Structure 1
Amino acid sequence: MAESRRRVQVVESNGTWGVFFLLAYVGAAIYFISHSDGSFWAVVLGLLQAMVWPAYAIYHGLALLGA
């Protein structure tokens, strides 16, 4: 029984996007925390807002378009 073996090569190239999203999160976190009053829960809320800032951007962009 001759068994043919195929070699499969998987290429992952997500490293650049990961760094971009990390920098975007850090920048958004700095923005939201700097606009808070500095209390513990305001900082936690700023970190949570930094995770979902694209939703803010889309919402305000659509509001500007009148949608």
Structure 2
Amino acid sequence: MASPNVLSCEDLREITGYQRAADIERCLVEQGVKVFRGRLGPWTTIDLVNQAGGLTPHAQNDERYDASIL
């Protein structure tokens, strides 16, 4: 079972509107999205799409501070 954070080739077909794996990959790479090549076609993660769009992940409550505050 795939992680809910992973966008499969089928997900990417629906999102991009392209049918061929090469077209899907080209579209995402042109937009700065890191894409991985899998046996079933290209895949990526929601975090990598957000990163390409300039969004940064929210820090978890226990990750807001590091040792430098001590």
Q: Quickly name the TM-score band, shorter chain normalised.
A: under 0.3
TM-score (normalised: structure 1)? 0.24
TM-score (normalised: structure 2)? 0.23
Counting strand residues as a fraction of each chain, which structure ranks higher? Answer: 2
**Greater RCO structure (CA 8 Å; 6+ sep):** 2
